Structures are given as C-alpha cells and as structure tokens.
Amino acid sequence: MERAVLLRSLSSSSSSSTLASSTRLFSRSVHRLARLPRRHRLVPNVHQRSLLRRHLGFISPVSRPSLQLSRHFCSLSVRAVATSPLQSSPEVLGADDDVAEKLGFEKVSDEFIEECKSRAVLYKHKKTGAEVMSVSNEDENKVFGIVFRTPPKDSTGIPHILEHSVLCGSRKYPLKEPFVELLKGSLHTFLNAFTYPDRTCYPVASTNTKDFYNLVDVYLDAVFFPKCVEDIKTFQQEGWHYELNDPSEDITYKGVVFNEMKGVYSQPDSILGRASQQALCPDNTYGVDSGGDPQVIPKLTFEEFKEFHRKYYHPSNARIWFYGDDDPNERLRILSEYLDMFEANSAAEESRVGSQKLFSEPVRIVEKYPAAEGDDLKKKHMVCLNWLLSETPLDLETELALGFLDHLMLGTPASPLRKILLESGLGDALVGGGVEDELLQPQFSIGLKGVSEDNIQKVEELIMGTLTKLAEEGFNSDAVEASMNTIEFSLRENNTGSFPRGLALMLRSIGNWIYDMDPFEPLKYQEPLKALKARIAEEGSKAVFAPLIEKFILNNPHRVTIEMQPDPEKASRDEAAEKENLAKVRASMTQEDLAELSRATHELKLKQETPDPPEALKCVPSLSLQDIPKKPIHVPTEVGDINGIKVLQHDLFTNDVLYAEVVFNMRSLKQELLPLVPLFCQSLLEMGTKDLDFVQLNQLIGRKTGGISVYPFTSSVRGKEDPCSHIIVRGKAMSERVEDLFTLVNRVLQDVQLTDQKRFKQFVSQSKARMENRLRGSGHGIAAARMDAKLNVAGWISEQMGGVSYLEYLQALEKKVDDDWPEISSSLEEIRKTLISKNDCLINLTADGKNLKNSEKHVSKFLDMLPNTSLVGSTAWNARLPPTNEAIVIPTQVNYVGKAANVFETGYQLKGSAYVISKYLNNTWLWDRVRVSGGAYGGFCDFDTHSGVFSYLSYRDPNLLKTLDVYDGTSNFLRELEMDDDALTKAIIGTIGDVDAYQLPDAKGYSSLLRYLLGVTEEERQIRREEILSTRLEDFKEFADVVEAVKDKGVVVAVASPDDVDAAKKSHPDFFKVKKAL
C-alpha cells in the first residue's frame, strides 16, 4: 500500500547500475489502488513499469532492494520457504479435460512453455465467454488475477474510482473494507489492484494454498458482487463528495481518488506523461484520463458509475489468470461457481479498444504546469517528442527488435541517444519512456526537462539529428553485444524483484490477450530472440535497426511535440477556480439544503468511523495460528574468511548466477564529505578509466556481467550510539563470468578517473532534478528523512544524502563545479582513498555450493588487489538538525504530514508485539481517520526498530493540522481498544506475513547481509517471532504509553502547500518554522 513505508526511498539517488532507468520513465498509465505492497517500492513506478513492458522490458537494473530495509522491521526476519527459481520441468499437470468439460469450460489451447517451464491451458467458459489461462508449474508463489477491459469515455475517473470501490464490501463479505481485512490477516505475497488506461487488473498472490484460495474468493466476490453499486456512500468516499461539517462553513471536495489525482496533477512528469498519451491518441479511449482529472471528477454521477460496473465487470468481458503449483481442477471449480451465475452479455464487443488513425502531419502542443515562484523559471521548461508507431499491432519479431533498439539508444548511461542528450547541457534530465508497448499501439517518447526557454528548438533538433545519425551510422558492435548480453542475462535470471514471477508473466500475457490476441505469444521469447540474433549476425545490426528508426520514427508523421511551461500562478489559479465552483454550489443551495448536506457529511463520517461488527469480520476467511511456522525463515549463512577478510556465503539455488556484494565501511569519512558520497558512487560507474572511456567501460560491464551498482547504506544500530554506515557494491554474473565480474568491480573502484568535470556537472543536474521530483511525488519520504535527521545521527546522514539538505547541497554544488572543480575532484579522490580499503571490508556471496566454491579464488585475487590503507578510526559524526517543527513549502495541491519521536529514549524495550501493533494501527485507526474520513490517499505509522523512532506520516493529504490531531489520538485509541481473539489472530498472522515476506534467492542473501551489519542475530529473530505470536491485548494497551511520548515530545515536519501552511500559521503562529524548498 501506498502508505507504505516503502516510500522512504530517500536513499539518495546515486547512480544505480548500468540501466539507470529511473529518469526515463513516465509514471503515466497505471493507477494502483493506493495500495502498493509495503516497503517494496524503491523507485516506485519504474520497477513496476519496466515489468509491464513485454519481452525486453523486464530488464531491471541490479536492484537495490533495500536501502530502506535498514529502516524497517522486516530486516529482522526474512522468509525462507523454498523460493528457489524453477529448477526443472518434470511432468506438470493440467486440469483433467473431463473435469473442465463438466464444469462448463471448453479447452481452447494447451501448450508447454519452455521459457517459464510451465504448462499453460487456455479455456473459454461456455456460458459466458469468460477466458481463463491456467498456468501450472512448480512455483509455490501462486498468482491469481482477473482483468476487465474498462475503456473510459471521459476523464471522470470511473475505472479508477470503481477499482477502489469494489474492494469496499461485497455480497459474501459485507464489511466496510474486506481488502483491509485481507491486508491485516493474510499471508499474501501480493495484494493490489491497478487501473490502466484501458483495463483494470485485480491480482493476488500467496505461497499458502489455503490462504491463496481465500484471497481469490474475496476478490471474485468483490468484482462481481460489490456493495458499492447499491450504496452511494462508497462512491462518495472513494470518488468525490461535497463536505460540509457545519452549515456556516465553506463547502469542500473530498474523496480518496479525487485527492490521489490532485497529487498526480501536481507532478510535472505525470502531467507531461498524461498530455503525451492524450495528444497522441485524441480519437480513442487514450485521449482521456482513466485515473480522473480532479477538475472533471466532480462531474461523475452515481448512475454512470453503477452502469459502468454493470456493463464491464462481467464474465463476458473478463480474462482470468491462475499460476503456480496448486491443483488446476480446483481453480476451475472455484471459477465456475461464480461464472455460472451470469448470462453472456455484449460487453466484450462494447469494450473493444478502437485504434488511433495515424496523423498526416506532426502536431505541437504547449501546456502549463504548476511551479514555485523563483528566478530560474526560465530554465524549467520541458520538451518531449512522441510518436505513435503504428496503426496496427506489430508482429512479435518487430516488437522485440524495437525493444532491443530502445535499449541500445537509451538503456544505459552509455547509450548514444541518452548520452548525447544529457551531455548537450540543454537540460537536466531525460523525460519520456522510450519505446512503450503496453497499450494497443506502440509509442516512442523522448525529451528533456530543465530546459531554458530559448533552447527548446535546439533540443528538438538534437533529438531528430541524433536519430538520423543513428539510422545512418548504426551502433557499434560492442554496444550491440552489451545490450544482447544484458537482455539475455535478465531473461535467464528472471528476477522480478518483489513482484511474484507469475504476476510479471500475467502482465506480459495480458498485453496481447486484452486486445483479443494470442495470450501465449508474449511468454515465448526464445525463438524470436534467436531469429533476431541470427539476423544481426548475418546482416549486421545496421541493416536490422536503421530501417526501424526510419520507418517508425523519422518518416512517421504521427509525431506530437509537447512543450511544458512552468507557471507560478497555475496552482493558485486552480485552487481559486475550485473555490469559486464550490461557492457557486453553496450559493445555489437553500438553508435546508445546507443543513441536509451537513447532516449527510456527518452520516458519512459516522459510517466511516464505526467499526465493523465482529460477526461481520468473521466472514472474511483467515488462517489460524496453527498454520503459521514457529521458526523464522532460515537463510543458510556461513561466516568465514578469505585472506583474513570476512566473507558471508549463502548456499542457495540461483540458476547459475553469482550475486556478490562488497561492503566498505564509511565511518572514517569526514563529515563534510558525506553529501558528496552519492555522486562519488555515480562517478565510479559513469566516468572512464585511463584506457577506457566511460562508454567502453559500461559496454564492458554490459557484455560480461548482469550489472554493477554502487550506493551508500546507513542505519542506526539498536543499543549503540554509533550508526552503521557503508558503501555497498553489488554485482551479478553467470558462473563462467565471475572472474570478469571481480576484475570489473576492481577497475570501477580503483581505475576510474574522478576527473571528468563535464560529466560530473551532469550528474549534479540530474540528481537535482530527481530530488525535486521526489519532493513533489514522495514528500512523506522527505518529511520522514527530515524528522529522522532531527532525532538520530543515521537519519542525519541519510538526509544529507537524500533529503532537503541534499537538494540544497546540490543547488550550491552546481555552481561550485564551475568555480572550483579541482577541489571537488580532490574531494572525490579523498573519499576513494578513505573508503576503498581491505581494512574493515566485507564480502557477501549468494549462489549454489559449487559456484560459491569456484568463486573463492576470484574473491581472493580481488582482495589482494585492494589497497591496505591503515584505518584512521571512526570520525566523530555528531550532527543532528535542530529539533524544531518545520513546514517545507512546495507548489502542490496536497500535503505530506509527519510526526515522530524516539521511543527508546522513554525507556521502552523492543518487543515483537510492536510489529503487530504498528501494523494494526496502520490498518485501523490511521486508515480510517487519515484516509477514509480525512480523504488522504494514505496515512500510516512506522517503527524503526533499530533507532527507536516511531513516526506517523500521511500521503497526498488535504489536511494538515487535523491530521496531527489524529496522530495524537492514537494513544487513546489503543487504551480504549477492544478486540476479540479472531481479530487479534488476524493481526498476528498479517504481521507474520510481512515478516516472512517472499524473497527470491538474491534478496535472501542480501537481507542476511543487512542483518549481519545491523547485528540482528538468529536468536533475536526467534525471540521476536515468539513475541509476535504471543501478542496479547494488554500489549496494545501498554503501547499506548509509548506512543503517548510521540504525542507529547514528537517533532513535526510537513511538506505542504503555501495556502495550507499560511492557514496553519494563522491559527498556530509559532508552531512551524517555514522553509521554502522549490
């Protein structure tokens, strides 16, 4: 869920890896149900989006799973059920044909798919026409998903509001929010919903079969028989309504989606993404916003909403996916119960997405976006070129070739189009997502932001010129080889991060299936990839790629150029227009109307704040404590040494990949050099050595390995004053390339010349652009960092490398690069000298036993080459920010409100029950008050069990001071809490589900490393688990005193709009120190 603490992606941006894709993606098309899996989103949209892209698209950089892990309880205990990749393909069963027939399904096709070692059977439900893909294999992480085609006609956001609403109670589960009950009390490994521009997906996943079927049943009942179409209150709560607390006050708009989308429309990158999509396809459903435009959402009526559900949420319009090691007969049995209740309808016809005819001439559009007042507005323009590539869907090989081309042009910092644009100095960072093929017709988009007004034209010319040059000259063969290796590596590794593999496959398959095309085809990449490889070998890469650039881009008249201009008045103008609308609404009402509206407002609030009766809660199926393993998940870890250096080894099946981390202690670094560390990390990977320029170095990494990344990691350590602070170098390679991997890591660390002023200047601009984006889009993460920086040293360090302080540092640094480069360059060298040393270094390896053994000699050689700098000892880092309340003002329509205190300082000793209680608060008190009745997109608390900081945060929040009142009410809520055994059991099971979060083998090895660094022992994990399992109601009551300390002594940081800060200052003049950040 969005409230996800996850969001604390503060970690500074350093540079990730060879495929630093974060800057090149729109966060355009998918709306999630507010509900992203907790703590899994390091770079929110990117990861997901790259998974959505078919074929080549699921290449992900060496992920940095968890800078934020350090900050969350989950680092305590990490799951270890068998989660190895699919090893072999013995007999996999499908459903018996006669069983299927008897249940009313007709088999359409049946294939064994080598690429995912699965048998896949496509069925059609005879009575309704519903289609079912039943995929069987040995993966225990089972996935179910139901997808409807839901093309909107306008921007009222119906599909999005419906996506939120159907999970608010159904026929069999008549609760306020069964979804939340599942979050509380199931072992799900994935639970969410997404709205695309043309479809809505409801996926769930679990490794526990009983739990899995429970989730499936709740989801099926929700989509087919939701209560939201009978009771307008859900529509009002999730969509929009007028709020009037007292007839004498002003009317306001409230609604979860309304506010979520206000947040989205405050982010320049999303505004651009939306504008691009809509301008490319003005004539079909992509010309409107399925998420909802906040100015249009209030036009939506309940009647239209109900009708949309009746029409499209119907089996005749459904595509259903099952995946994993469960019984395929059982899947069909569960489905038939639901599907048989319907008669066929015409929805499949009506929901078909029409294609956009290609333009005969290019189009140019100028849009405004809300910006803060400031002197450099002239330099804040954005320009993006977009093409719709084809009128009809492309064949698989062309699609694959386009994906390849995309990677060649933009995939790595060394890719020519990316490199030339960034090196031009015409802008700060890339915009546009490159090739995008998840909708009906493929698109290509590329542009720059941070462009000065008079350079717009130059950017356009540079893009067209570079593309022409690439078509004429082709790509160099090392680059082609590097891209090919990267693509093949990622296909082989099939590392979907925190996404279940079955879900990644489903999203790929759906990309075809939803348009009535073959759902099997996108899963089978081996043959077309082989063919493409052969063509490149035979005809040369130029013969393959040049015609693609010419046909689809250069000679394609369907081009839309979008220029976005910063407008410092736009936010207040929109605000004023909204107020004026509401004033008109008010003026048109009689005294009786107003009294009635106020009554309705209170009624809705009352409903929202009244808990479900315990009998109703019982209807949501749940596991019992007997179903829960008593021991924490075991990750095999052997601590040994090579050449006197500590080495951790994790013997896990990884399909012949070795994952390695090299960890250097940062504690002897001078305090004033800390903010430079993220850029130091990026420089290592993106500047050249004496004999290789950075392009060659990057290509070499791409050709030989699965990627290398370097980044800082900092956390408090429980019971210690001193924080744990390191630089981690992560890399991965196939077993036969391990020697290359360590040689390259060594070159990156020791041979790279930290002298390239021009490139460094680009890094600074890009980082600045990224931080600005983060401030608008993840203000709660920024607020959390700021509070931490006031409360402990580790937090202060992280804020120096990823918070408001970092942004300020970058702003000053940008100038300093021009004025005093030698000093910066020598500081970078000083960081290297201090950090890169055999002393206090640590190695972490994850692979199977044979490959671990084989890699030892390479590790040994690598260690021999490291310098043996004598330790300077820890430097005194004793900085914190002053503990004053702060309001950080940015141009936004929504706020992010935080409050935090260190509860260890009150004498509280950590107990496992704290995990259960925090989770419970998230799903009850904070969810109900901050989100449901407060109208924020999310509200949650987080307990960092290493530092002792307990914090509250809200996300896209229309309120400011009111939210603080909710936080302060937490202790009373806990004191007065009543809870029966069922509810308590659910809370415990849900917590275990978090603690045992599903992990692929590389993530297991990595989590184990973090536990080692943070001093979390196996004994402690066992004790915490026992404490979790034996949590009692009294623990909740006792915890009330703990959170009371946050109420009394907590520090407040809000990232908020100017208007709301002004209003708060009026009522509480000295409460905040105000700081302008953008």
Active site residues: 163, 238
Q: Which of 264, 681 has the CB closer to Zn ion? A: 264
Binding piece for Zn ion, criterion CB under 5 A, among 56-64, 256-264, 431-439, 828-836 = 256-264
Rounded Cα gap, residues 18 and 78, in angstroms: 28
Tokens of 181: 């009950």
**Residue 755 main-chain phi, psi, to 5 deg:** -125, 0
732 near Zn ion, rule: CB under 5 A = no
CA pair distance 87, 696, nearest whole angstrom: 35
At how many degrees (to 10) do helices 541-548 and 526-539 cross? 110
Q: Which part of the chain contacts Zn ion (CB under 5 A), choosing from 254-262, 618-626, 810-818, 969-977?
A: 254-262
Stretch that binds Zn ion, among 84-92, 253-261, 489-497, 966-974 (CB under 5 A): 253-261
Pick 904 or 955: Cβ nearer Zn ion: 955
Residues contacting residue 1038 through CB under 8 Å, at least 6 positions apart = none
Q: With the CA atoms of 1016, 1020, 1021 and 1023 taken in that order, what torsion angle do they form, in degrees rounded to the nearest 10?
A: -160
The reply on whether position 956 binds Zn ion by CB under 5 A is no
Closest distance to Zn ion from the beta carbon of 964 (Å)? 24
* Of residues 3 and 142, the one with the C-beta less far from Zn ion: 3
Give Cα 773 to chain centroid, integer Å: 15
Q: With respect to Zn ion, which residue has the nearer C-beta, 31 or 233?
A: 31
How many CB atoms are closer than 10 A to CB 104? 18
* In the complex, minimum distance from the CB of residue 163 to Zn ion, in angstroms, rounded to a whole number: 7
- How far apart (Å, rounded) are the C-alpha atoms in residues 696 and 18? 12
CB of 47 to Zn ion, least distance (A): 18
Q: State the minimum distance, in angstroms, from the CB of residue 308 to Zn ion.
A: 16
Residues sharing a CB contact under 8 Å with residue 827, sequence separation 6 or more, in sequence order: 673, 676
Which of 4, 12, 3 has its CA nearest to residue 799? Answer: 12
Report residue 415: phi and psi, to 5°: -65, 135
With tokens 């078909």, the residue in question is: 352
Residue position matching structure tokens 């390339």 = 737
Q: Give the span between the Cα atoms of 141 and 132, in whole angstroms.
A: 19
Closest CA to 776 of 798, 807, 801: 807
Shortest approach of Zn ion to residue 22 CB, angstroms? 22
Cβ distance to Zn ion smaller for residue 195 or 716: 195
**Min separation Cβ 507 and Zn ion, Å:** 18
Stretch that binds Zn ion, among 255-263, 552-560, 752-760, 1017-1025 (CB under 5 A): 255-263
Of residues 167 and 1013, the one with the C-beta less far from Zn ion: 167
| Only segment of 9-17, 70-78, 259-267, 745-753 that touches Zn ion (CB under 5 A) | 259-267
Which DSSP string corresponds to 397-421?
HHHHHHHHHHHHHHSSTTSHHHHHH
- CB of 160 vs Zn ion, minimal distance in Å: 6
Of the candidate spans 25-33, 178-186, 744-752, 830-838, the one that interacts with Zn ion by CB under 5 A turns out to be 25-33
* Binding to Zn ion in span 95-114, by CB under 5 A: none
If the CB atoms of residues 255 and 1058 are measured against Zn ion, the closer one turns out to be: 255
Helix (H, G, I), strand (E, B), or coil: what is residue 986? helix
CB of 697 to Zn ion, least distance (A): 42
3 state SS of 100:
helix
Q: Which stretch binds Zn ion (CB under 5 A): 23-31, 143-151, 664-672, 960-968?
A: 23-31
How many residues bind Zn ion (CB under 5 A)? The answer is 3
Are 780 and 898 in contact by the 8 Å Cβ rule? The answer is yes
| Closest alpha carbon to 141 in 999, 988, 990, 991 | 999
873: buried, middle or exposed (CB in 10 Å: 19+, 13-18, 0-12)?
A: exposed
AA identity, residue 633 = I
Gap between the Cα atoms of 202 and 534, Å rounded: 39
CB nearer to Zn ion: pick between 369 and 937: 937
Element (H, E) at 338: helix 328-339
Nearer Cβ to Zn ion, position 262 or 650?
262
Residue 63 DSSP one-character state = P
Residue type, 603: E
Cα(130)–Cα(631) distance, rounded to whole angstroms?
A: 42
Q: Would the CA dihedral through 43, 262, 437, 412 be positive or negative?
A: negative
Residue among 217 and 260 whose Cβ is closer to Zn ion: 260
User: 31 vs 770, which CB is nearer to Zn ion?
Assistant: 31
* Min dist. Cβ of residue 302 to Zn ion (A): 19
> 148 or 387: whose CB is closer to Zn ion?
148
Residue 64 in the binding site for Zn ion (CB under 5 A): no
State whether the Cα torsion 860-67-697-754 is positive or negative: negative
Q: Does 31 bind Zn ion (CB under 5 A)?
A: yes
**Nearest distance from C-beta of residue 956 to Zn ion, angstroms:** 10
CB of 291 to Zn ion, least distance (A): 7
Binding span for Zn ion by CB under 5 A among 29-37, 654-662, 720-728, 927-935: 29-37
Residue 947 gets the label, from left (phi > 0), alpha (psi -120 to 50) or beta, of: alpha
DSSP 870-929: PP--------------EEEE-S-SSBEEEEEEESGGGTPPP-THHHHHHHHHHHTHHIII
* For Zn ion, the closer CB: 914 or 936: 936
Number of helices and strands (H, E) in the chain? 39, 28
Question: Which residues partner with 663 through β-bridges?
Answer: 728, 842
> Taking CB under 5 A as the rule, does residue 931 contact Zn ion?
no
Instruction: Please write down the HEC assignment for all residues of 171-197.
Output: CCCCCCCHHHHHHHHCCCCEECCEECC
Question: Which range touches Zn ion (CB under 5 A), out of 6-14, 257-265, 407-415, 767-775?
Answer: 257-265
- Point out which residues bind Zn ion (CB under 5 A): 31, 34, 260
